[in-house]
């Protein structure tokens, strides 16, 4: 587990957008307004499970049930609940049906109450990272079900908005990463139209277009340059041949971070610290960070508890070298968007000031920087 210290569960503070749950005493209140709408109860349960790091299949039932009943009218839902025919709906099981019935009866569903207690507390202890987290306006790295994420694009965007962000960047994988259903140029173009539609619905929140583009063995990028040019943000990461020798790996990373199309260097060491651990890739970090600083490429502080990449010593080196940083959730599910606090805690610990973090900028400041390299503070 390395240096990850999960905090003990404490009392949950409702984030913005979670306004429908009332915190007064639970219990059925027939004929009155429900404590929580059934759809929101199911979504909140899924969110908490994801935030806790649950594997996708444990969460899917709740997300599916939310979609199924979200398509019914309130009357239809109540009629079905009264006649006991909810469980016959495709996509509902005993557990999800119970949550819905309890919510409809005006109670706070028992499973939700249990989860809030167990998993609803702060993810880090005390004030660690809080100041920096409050300064963040967005997230530059997240996945949808177009590649290896578990949720639709719009669900991810709504969750980012509900966490208080004003923008986020959709960064699904590139074609060569077939295990993660990387997007061909054609699918990425289709995704751009979807992003435009989502933006019409979610304005003033902005979903920016992007990609997590594989850095190929020779340092070139795994997508058509003309298409990369059109995207708001390009995160470039190594996902193959992570154990390449130090020399070639340094040249590979240098080529990528010097590429004017690249904005963020994703999880630079590729290490995995939980599950099946994987060591850091070997490269001349000083040279790579110096090139990042010179060529306006931010170094990502990847917040996933299984990565925490870069390790602190490299984070401090990047800071000394003068790079910018991007504190990214690399979320593959809505609840994982909340993991940014981990990266904020590590950044604060290493002395990273907010003005060096590109996600503290407005969408416009970010766009100016990706186009011209000009930062708001210089």
Q: Which residues are at the interface with Zn ion (CB under 5 A)? A: 212, 237, 330
Are residues 348 and 128 in contact, defined by beta-carbon separation less than 8 angstroms?
A: yes
Q: How far is the CB of 328 from Zn ion (least distance, A)?
A: 8
Residue (74 or 179) nearer to Zn ion, CB: 179
Residue (44 or 173) nearer to Zn ion, CB: 173
Residue (61 or 249) nearer to Zn ion, CB: 249
Residue (44 or 141) nearer to Zn ion, CB: 141
Residue with tokens 């909340």: 338
Residue (232 or 348) nearer to Zn ion, CB: 232
Name residues whose C-beta falls within 8 Å of residue 50's C-beta, 6 or more positions apart in sequence. 59, 150, 333, 334, 335, 336
Q: How far is the CB of 305 from Zn ion (least distance, A)?
A: 14
Q: How far is the CB of 147 from Zn ion (least distance, A)?
A: 9
Q: How far is the CB of 16 from Zn ion (least distance, A)?
A: 25
Residue (170 or 345) nearer to Zn ion, CB: 170
Q: How far is the CB of 139 from Zn ion (least distance, A)?
A: 11
Q: How far is the CB of 300 from Zn ion (least distance, A)?
A: 9
Residue (37 or 212) nearer to Zn ion, CB: 212
User: What is the C-alpha separation between 109 and 99, in angstroms, rounded?
Assistant: 5
Residue 49: name the closest of 36, 39, 62 by CA.
62
Q: How far is the CB of 295 from Zn ion (least distance, A)?
A: 20
């Amino acid at each position: 587990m390395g240096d990850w210290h999960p905090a003990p569960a404490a009392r949950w503070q409702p984030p913005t957008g979670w306004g429908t749950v009332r915190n007064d005493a639970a219990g059925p209140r027939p004929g009155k307004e429900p404590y929580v709408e059934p759809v929101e109860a199911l979504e909140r349960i899924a969110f908490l499970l994801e935030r806790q790091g649950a594997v996708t299949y444990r969460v899917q039932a709740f997300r599916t049930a939310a979609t199924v009943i979200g398509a019914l009218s309130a009357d239809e839902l109540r009629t079905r609940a009264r006649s006991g025919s909810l469980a016959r709906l495709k996509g509902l099981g005993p557990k999800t049906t119970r949550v819905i019935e309890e919510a409809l009866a005006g109670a706070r569903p028992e499973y939700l109450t249990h989860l809030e207690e167990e998993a609803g507390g702060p993810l880090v202890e005390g004030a660690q990272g809080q100041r920096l987290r409050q300064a963040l306006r967005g997230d530059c790295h997240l996945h949808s079900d177009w590649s290896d994420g578990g949720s639709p694009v719009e669900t991810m965007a709504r969750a980012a908005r509900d966490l208080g962000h004003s923008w986020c960047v959709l960064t699904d994988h590139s074609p060569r990463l077939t295990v993660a259903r990387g997007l061909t140029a054609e699918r990425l173009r289709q995704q751009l139209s979807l992003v435009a539609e989502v933006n019409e619905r979610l304005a003033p929140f902005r979903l920016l277009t992007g990609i997590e583009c594989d850095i190929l063995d020779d340092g070139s990028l795994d997508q058509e340059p003309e298409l990369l040019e059109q995207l708001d943000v390009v995160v470039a990461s190594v996902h193959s041949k992570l154990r390449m020798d130090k020399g070639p790996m340094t040249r590979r990373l240098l080529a990528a971070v010097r590429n004017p199309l690249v904005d963020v260097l994703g999880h630079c060491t590729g290490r995995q610290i939980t599950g099946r651990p994987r060591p850091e890739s070997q490269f001349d970090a000083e040279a790579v960070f110096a090139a990042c600083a010179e060529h306006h490429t931010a170094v990502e502080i990847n917040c996933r508890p299984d990565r925490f990449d870069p390790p602190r010593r490299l984070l401090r080196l990047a800071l000394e070298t003068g790079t910018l940083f991007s504190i990214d959730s690399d979320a593959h599910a809505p609840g994982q968007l909340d993991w940014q606090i981990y990266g904020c805690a590590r950044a604060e610990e290493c002395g990273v000031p907010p003005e060096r973090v590109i996600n503290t900028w407005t969408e416009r400041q970010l766009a100016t920087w990706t186009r011209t390299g000009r930062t708001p503070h210089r």
